[in-house]
Structures are given as C-alpha cells and as structure tokens.
Structure 1
C-alpha cells in the first residue's frame, strides 16, 4: 500500500510503525463486513491510513490508542460509503450481490493495476466465518447504514456501545436500539441449518446434475420456493431479476448450460465465503462464482456473481 510522505516519520523497523500496520488485518475484516465489497474495503482502509499519516508526528504521539483511532476513522469512512452506496446501487444494472471471497488456496496475489495489493494469503485479509457467509451478508444489505455499522461493531467485533456511539454519531442508547433492530432483521431471515458436510454433498450433486443437464435431478435438489439471484453488473450477461421456483431455476440453468462454450469450461467445487460453492472457469479465468444456502437437504437460494470487477481475488 502506498502511503503519503508522512511515513518518513518512522523507519520500516520502527515498532510504532509496525504496531500501526498490524491493525490492517482487523480494519480489512471490519470494512469488508460493513461494505460487502472487498474493493471498497481496501479503499476505506487506505483512506484511513492516509489520514493517519497526514497528521504530524506530535499529533500521532498524542493519540493514546492508535488502534482505536484507526477503527473509529475506518468506521466513519465506511458509514459514509454505505450512505452513498445505497444511491449507487439503485442505478446498478441488475441485482447487486456482495463480493464473494475465495478460500486460502484460491486467493489471487494482486489486484490488477494496483501493484499487487492483494496478499497471496487471505489469512492476512479477511477471516472467513459465519459473519461473511453470503446469506448473512445479503441480510446486512437490507439494513440501514447506521444499523449495519452498530450491529457489526457490537455483535461481531464486540465493541462497547460507548465506542460504537462515537463512530455512528449517536448516543449509546440509540446504538443499542440500532443493533437490536438489526438483530430482528437477522432473526427474520431464513438461515441455512444444514451441516457443512451435508451442504457440500448437496452442492456436489447439484454440480453433477447441472453438468448432465438433468432437470429432474436439479428439481429434486432445489426447494420448490428456491430463488436464484445473479449479478453481472451490466458488464456480462446475467438475468436481471431473481428467478423464483425450483423448476424454473432448473430449466433456466440447463438452458444456460446449453449455450455455454463447453470446451475449456470447468465447473469446480470451491469454498465461497467459507461455505461450499461452485466456480466456473473458462480458458483458465474465473467467470462465475456461485454461493448457496441449503436447508433440510435442499438448496433454498443461489447467488451467482459474474461481474468481473467482483471476481478479481479469484484469479486464474
């Protein structure tokens, strides 16, 4: 990451500099959960460090807890981004889905054009747990920016409401109410309850049925009320509205499979945001990432991300 000239205040071996940079992983984890976009999270964290290094050495040394300062600034930046993102997503072509994240072995080392900004090891970036599950992130998208920030900071990262209030700009009592409202949204959303091993088996069967273009087998694997949402961002072909109904989804994906250029197209079982998913690669490049929600042995939701801008971490 390139930072302003204020970095000259400390040498690369300066313990103070090391302590500041060690907060990066925590900030990336926070920003990704708040924004649902790895690219926006990167930008928010870079802006946070830019503000730190824009201060004089004296002001930096006067800050009792640099980590708390960085978190506060990053949280406020994310809150502003969330507010503007709501307007941007209203004009987004088709459905907007959070950016999917690969598992450790799938991580691409470097974002095109940024000098290799993505470390090869995602453990240095985003910890994959239930708080980045695609179904969970989609529910977060339904919250107001203040609800999302209060909930993530308090319930996921365990910040006390007094500190949350300083970031959100409301009283601790108001932030408590925001988090409570967010919890009700989480509780009202159907959550996948199948164990990971069962979900992996269902996804494997789905992959085989898709490759065989077996509509009956696909229908058996899909909940009758299942929904498929796709995100092409207007950059590549993708259905603009959710496809609802197990049979409709089965027929749609079989039709799409018939149009796909079979030679060179590989459908692979991969971890997506820490859960079993599928990745399609064509000519060695990732062209589609699919995340799934599974309950009672059937797929209840499929999120298909095809927007190339959201597939950068997957590489080749």
Structure 2
C-alpha cells in the first residue's frame, strides 16, 4: 500500500502547505526586499528616525566576527543600540559600497570596501518590522553564501 504525499505529511504531524502560505510568501518576499532597501538607504544616510520606524521594539543585531576555532558572536538588543551599531557600520564612508543582494534565499546586503567583500547582512522580520539583523564578518562564514 502506497501513501500519497499528503497522507505522509499528515502522518508525520506536519501541516500540508496551503495555497495561502504560498501566496503569503510571494507577497511578503517583495515587502522584505523593499524593507531591506529602506534599511540600507536610511543607514547610509544616517537617518535614525527612519531606522526607528523599520525596527521591531525587540530587535536584535548579531555580529558574527569570530576567528577560525575561536568563534565570537556579539548581540545587541533594543532599537537604540541597534541603530547605533547599524549607523556605525553602514553610514556612508569613502570606499564602502553596500549592495542589495539575496543572501541564502532571503533579502540581504553585501558590504564591500575597495572591491573586497567585508560583510554580508541578512534580515528577519516580525510582520512588517525588522526583528533580527545578522551581520557576518568572518570570511569562512561568508564563503558559502549564495545569491538567488
């Protein structure tokens, strides 16, 4: 006796994807890319007020800057600490280029200085607001990122 994929999913206890889930993903994806663009523009221009409007009150910024065999993650929580960090790292500087990219299948940014990639940034959302910004500085963690 052979089970259909719906039956197999039901037996595993996972809900089958609904058509609405696919539509929501399609709609949210465009909104997320627009929000990441707005984040980039606000940070580059030093617009702290605009950043406040984009960030969830419980936002966290994780900076992965570890060395091989000695990984280090720094976490900053809260809107105002997040803004300080984002402005420090992304405000317009000579030689800094911030490009919007799809990073591992989600909206993100790639920072480079003088033609060399220095960081990748991914962004997670809680509804329309940014809830997590993950900045990867370590070359080993950036090596496997892919664009879609």
TM-score, length of structure 1 as denominator length: 0.35
**Alignment partners' CA distance in 2, 1:269 and 1:252:** 19
Matched positions, count = 125
List aligned pairs for 1:186-197, cutoff 5 A.
Answer: 195-197=28-30
Highest CA radius of gyration, 1 or 2?
Answer: 1
Please report how far the alpha carbon of residue 285 of structure 1 lies from its aligned counterpart in structure 2 after TM superposition: 1.5
**Alignment partners' CA distance in 2, 1:266 and 1:256:** 11
Contact preservation (8 Å) 2:66, 2:73? no
**Alignment partners' CA distance in 1, 2:49 and 2:127:** 18
Task: Choose from 280, 284, 297 the match for 2:128.
Answer: 297
Q: RMSD of aligned C-alpha atoms?
A: 2.9
Structure with the higher fraction of residues in helix conformation: 1
What CA deviation, in whole Å up to 9, does each residue of 1:166-207 have, x standing for no partner?
xxxxxxxxxx9xx87xx7xxxxxxxx9771110011101000
List aligned pairs for 1:134-283, cutoff 5 A.
Answer: 195-234=28-67, 240-257=73-90, 262-283=93-114
Contact preservation (8 Å) 1:226, 1:301? yes
**Alignment partners' CA distance in 1, 2:88 and 2:104:** 27
Please report how far the alpha carbon of residue 298 of structure 1 lies from its aligned counterpart in structure 2 after TM superposition: 0.9
List aligned pairs for 1:32-71, cutoff 5 A.
Answer: none
Contact preservation (8 Å) 1:294, 1:301? yes
The answer to which structure, 1 or 2, has the higher relative contact order (CA under 8 A, 6+ apart) is: 2
Does the C-alpha gap of structure 1 residues 210 and 307 become closer, same or farther in structure 2, counting only changes over 3 Å?
Answer: same
Contact preservation (8 Å) 1:280, 1:286? yes
Tell me the equivalent position of 1:89: none
**Alignment partners' CA distance in 2, 1:274 and 1:256:** 23
5+ residue gaps in structure 1? 1-159, 161-175, 184-191
Contact preservation (8 Å) 2:108, 2:122? yes
Contact preservation (8 Å) 2:64, 2:74? no
**Alignment partners' CA distance in 1, 2:95 and 2:115:** 8
Please report how far the alpha carbon of residue 313 of structure 1 lies from its aligned counterpart in structure 2 after TM superposition: 4.7
Contact preservation (8 Å) 1:229, 1:302? yes
5+ residue gaps in structure 2? 1-7, 15-23
Tell me the equivalent position of 2:19: none
